[in-house]
Structures are given as structure tokens and as C-alpha cells.
Structure 1
Amino acid sequence: MDSVAEQFAVFLAQLHPSPEELAAARETAATAGAALRAHFRPDVSSTGPDFLVVGSIGKRTATRPLPPVDLIYLLPRRYPTPASALAEVALAVAGEDSGDAVCLAGGRVRILPALEHGNAYLIPVAGRWRASNPAAEVAALRLIDGLGGGLATRLLMLLRAWRDANAVALASFELENLVREFVTQEAPVPGDFVAALTEFFVWSRRFTPCRLELPGGRARLEIDAAWHGAAEAAYWRCVLAQRASAAGDHAAATEEWRRLLGSAFPAPAAPWNSRRLLG
């Protein structure tokens, strides 16, 4: 494994939350679910399937620092508008209504009130009910991840790091669906994250703006082009980093990767003979 590949492997390991962190997040979600059940279903003593952890934590693609836990709560009756459902949920748990969700536990949980919709749900999005099929989303991501040798999930983690480090206006769900389309269409080489990132920043600007059919086939996702400037800058960061590596300037290459992915991107390991001398 070359130096850059080792750096990416270490960085991805750093991004991956520990089992303890994920367990704590799910416990926080369970506490919120119990509070919702006590309000909406006070006669139900057992833990029925009235809530579901979704988002990156539910799909096991979350990165450090952990985002809020997205929790779908299945309401026991219909509500005419998302606003009316959000208002009652906020009242039930003394949470803050953000317009699309109710935030709880200092922002660590986002409650998405939901209505049954066949084998899917209706959740609030931009003031309207939108169909969401979490099971189909997970299945689609797992399928493309399996076909691509695990590349999709890891590329998604790297792109979230890029988004966070550079304040890019792309939601995690938008990135997830773009990655799924990219791996499907372009079939990048598994494990070659440098090439995958570089190719993604070119492909994504050609592919968007777009209107994607979401897994489950009940809704579409519109992705605009407002972030194209950030993607173009990211592409040139990749090019500069690769040129520096080819010239043997690993410090300059690392600096470019840090500008792209954040300051936590690791320095290259010392060569074996250097480690031996230092030891």
C-alpha cells in the first residue's frame, strides 16, 4: 500500500464512529421514542414498532462528529398538514420545531413525525408531506456498496468530510443519492479513493442539476447546481495533491488533502528506514 492509500485508510478509520458512540446515539433516540409513545400511545406498554432510526446513523454511514439522530415517529392518526403534526410533537416532548423536524436533547435528536403511506412513510419536507422509504434506501445503498467493493459508503464518508470542511451547501441525503448514481454509472475502481474523488467532482457537475427518483419509487429529489463552484475547486485540489505526490512532495500533497477534507487528514507515515533510525 502506498503512502497516500495509507493516509486515506487512517483517515477513514478516524471518521468511523465507535460502537459505543453509535450505541449512545441509539439510546438517546430510544429515550425520545419512549417519551413520544407516552404522549401518543399511553395505553401501549410494550415497545412496538412506532419509531425508526433513519439517516446516516440508521444506515450505518455516519461519520465523526456524529450528526443528530434522525428518528421517524409514526403518528397514530392523520394530520392535515406537516405543521400541525410538528406542533403536537414539539408540545409532547418540549422540543423545538425547526419546520421539518422537532429537535430534542440539545439538538442531538431530530424527530420526523410520519404518516403511514403503503410500505413507506410521509414525512415533512419544505412544508409538505413527502414519501420516504427508509428500507428501500438502505437496500439500494447496500446493493451498490456490495457491487462496488464497499466504495460507495467510504466515498460518501469522504464527501461528507469535504462538505463539512468547506461549508458546501449539500445535504447528506443529496450526497448519498449522488454517490449511488455515480458508482452505478461510472463503476470507479474499488479502494482507489484519490481517483474516485477526482472523478466524482467532474461527473457530479455534469450530472446536476437533476431530479432523481428515490429508492421505492414514490418520490423524487431535486439537486441544484449552487455548489458547483465548490466542486470545481475540490477537483483542482485533487489535481494539485496528485501532482505534489508524483513529484515526491508529500508534505505539499498532505496540505492539499487537508484543505479538501479537513485538518484531521493524517500526515504520511515515516518510511520504514526512517522509523528504524528514529527508534
Structure 2
Amino acid sequence: MTATAAWSRVGRRFAGLLSGLPASAEQRAQAGAVGRLVAHGLRRALAAPGDGSDRGRAILLGGYAKGTAPRFSAAVDVLLVLPAHLRPDFSAGPTALGRRRRRVIAPVAAVLGERHGGVRIDADGWLVVRPARGSTSAIPLVRLRPVFACAEGGFLTPAPDGRQGPWRHLDPAAELANLEAADKATAGKATHLILMLKAWRRAQAVPIQPLALELLAAEFVRAWIYQTQSALFYDWMVRDFFFWAAAQAGRPLPLPGTGETLASGRAWRDAAEAAHVTAALASDLERDNREAEAAACWRHLFGAGLFAHKGAPSAAPSLPRRNTQGMTDCFGYASQ
């Protein structure tokens, strides 16, 4: 048996991992349905007086919109595009910023609280909602962020307290375009790497935002020397990513389409360095045909039970279906 034939199990191993990582079609459908259900409860409350047409929109975003939601994803993220009449005037000066930010969030939180209960506001300004009692959805949480349409594209959301300036600029369409461009240039490696990194984040309780992982992965695969190779090289991709990523800790990450940055933080650097050591060892064990020991390393890194041991596909699966209508008005119950 040639070395290449022996090493083909590496491709099968990662193909097996990736075949079971993405959220299922049923989970994706439930995510859209739960997001619409919660958003629909705001329909009448958001209408401008005497104008039933100005009811705002709701936009699915995050992993469920981009096809990077893993099967263990516990929340769905939704932007609530509020009607223009609710937009605050921040020109009164910095002393009024906090009070006027709360004026945006408080009425939305009140309506959601009446309908669902258990609504809370996290440190980043997300409204965290649990579906109504009796729901059979596998998605236990919905996170909503109030935003307003921006004339330059994307959306504006009141910046969290402590942040300079009244607004934060978001552009989900530009984020999706950035990911799709990385996938197109690398035969889908950006999405494959993001799914594996989310498994690592969960298995090792790594303190890094999923969006930061996405931005890092998309940047890395564009520069990786083996970007057009098959899943046979995925052990090296994981190894090389963690080596590179550890050096990126603390670097502000550009947010596509906005001119703003996302703080990547430094708390995850040690975990990335440890992951590199594990992945490098596993890659060496794969090279030496020590399959059982390599498999133990990968299971430690990504979590036991995620790898398919029998009947695994021989090639990495095609990319999950993305929400191509991510800008759709959820109040109209369009397909997500």
C-alpha cells in the first residue's frame, strides 16, 4: 500500500466529522420559524401611530443564515429592523447617550417580556428570549438586536454602554459575501474550518466569539498554501490555523462592509496554542500511520462522538444550504 493510499483515511476522517457537524435541514427550518415567531410578536407594537405599514423587519443572521451553524447550536440570532419613528436623536450630547440607548431597547424588551417572559439584555445589547412555553423547537434561545436601516448600507444599532460614539455599524450581507468569497477561492474550506472551530470552541470552552472565529478562518484559508487541496490535507489545515491564530490574539478584526473592527480578545490564546500542539501531534501520528492514537487526539480537540467511525464519506461534504433570502421580511413569513 502506498503512503498516499494509507493517508486517505485522513480525508475520510475529516469528511466523517464534517458530514455530522452542520445543523440539519430540520434544525435550520426550526431556527427560521422560531425567529419569525418571536419577531411576529412585535408587529403591532412597532407600528407607527396611524401607519400600519411601518412595522419593521426581522432578519435572520449568524450561523443559521450563513450555513455555519453546527448541529449543537443553541440559539438563533435575529436583527430587528425598527421603524424610523423609533430612531433616537443622539445629538443632545454624551450625557444623554445611555438614556436614549435604553429608550430603543426598553419598549422592545417590554413587548417581548409580555409575550414570552424571561427576556434579558446581555452586555453587548442583545435581547435574549426563550420561546413560549409548550414550544417543541430544539432552539432554546433567540437573540435579537434592535437596528435601524443605514443609508450607506447595512444597519445601525445603539452601541453598548462604554463604547465611544452612539452607533455600531453592522452589515450582514457584507459578512456573508466575505465568507462566500473565501469559500469560492478555497473549495469550501472556510465553512469547513469554521464548523470545526465551533466544535473546538464548545469542546474546550474557549472564550472567543463565533464571529471572531469566522473572520479569522476566512482570512486564514485565503492565504493557506494548500487552499485548493482535498480533505486529505485537513489535518495540516487545522494544525496550521492554530499556529497562525495564536499570533492573532488581541488583534482587532475588520468587520466587512463597515469600517469598524471586532475585538478578538486575548483570553483564548492559550487554548489556541494548546490546540496547535494537539493538532501537530495528531498530524505526525497520521503520517506515521498510528491511526488509533491520531483519532484520540482529534476526539480530544473537537469532542468525543463527533467523528463517524463507519460508513464515513470519502470526500468532504458540500456546503450547507445558506439563507439566500437573509434580508427577507420575517413578518411576511417568507422562507428562511
Fold match (TM-score > 0.5)? yes
CA pair 230-124 structure 1, distance change in 2 beyond 3 A: farther
Map 1:1-279; keep pairs closer than 5 Å: 2-41=8-47, 50-76=57-83, 77-79=86-88, 81-94=100-113, 95-99=119-123, 100-106=125-131, 107-118=140-151, 119-124=153-158, 126-127=160-161, 128=163, 129-190=167-228, 191=231, 192-266=233-307, 268-269=309-310
The gaps in structure 1 that reach 5 residues or longer are 271-279
Q: Which consecutive segments of 4 or more residues in structure 1 shift more than 6 A?
A: 42-49
CA contact (8 A) 1:241 1:252 kept: yes
* Cα root mean square deviation, aligned: 2.3
Which is richer in strand?
1
* Identity fraction in percent: 30
Structure scoring higher RCO (CA < 8 A, sep ≥ 6) equals: 2
Alignment partner of 2:145: what SS?
strand
CA pair 139-267 structure 1, distance change in 2 beyond 3 A: closer
CA pair 44-247 structure 1, distance change in 2 beyond 3 A: farther
1:73-94 CA-partner distances (Å, limit 9, x unpaired): 0122213543332222110111
CA contact (8 A) 1:7 1:265 kept: no
Moved more, 24-33 or 204-213: 204-213
Q: CA deviation at 1:184?
A: 2.5
2:323 aligned residue: none
Q: Amino acid of the residue matched to residue 208 of structure 2? A: L
CA contact (8 A) 1:254 1:265 kept: no
Alignment partner of 2:305: what SS?
coil
CA pair 40-131 structure 1, distance change in 2 beyond 3 A: same
Aligned length in residues: 271
* Length-normalised TM-score, structure 2: 0.74
1:276 aligned residue: none
Which is richer in helix?
1
Q: CA deviation at 1:186?
A: 2.8
CA contact (8 A) 1:11 1:264 kept: no
The gaps in structure 2 that reach 5 residues or longer are 91-99, 114-118, 132-139, 312-336
CA contact (8 A) 1:213 1:220 kept: yes
CA contact (8 A) 1:82 1:123 kept: no
1:132-171 CA-partner distances (Å, limit 9, x unpaired): 0011111111111111110000000001111110011110
1:277 aligned residue: none
Q: CA deviation at 1:124?
A: 4.7
* Length-normalised TM-score, structure 1: 0.88
Moved more, 116-125 or 143-152: 116-125
CA pair 124-193 structure 1, distance change in 2 beyond 3 A: farther
Q: Amino acid of the residue matched to residue 129 of structure 2? A: L
Alignment partner of 1:223: what SS?
coil
CA contact (8 A) 1:6 1:268 kept: no
CA pair 214-188 structure 1, distance change in 2 beyond 3 A: farther
Q: Amino acid of the residue matched to residue 113 of structure 1? A: P
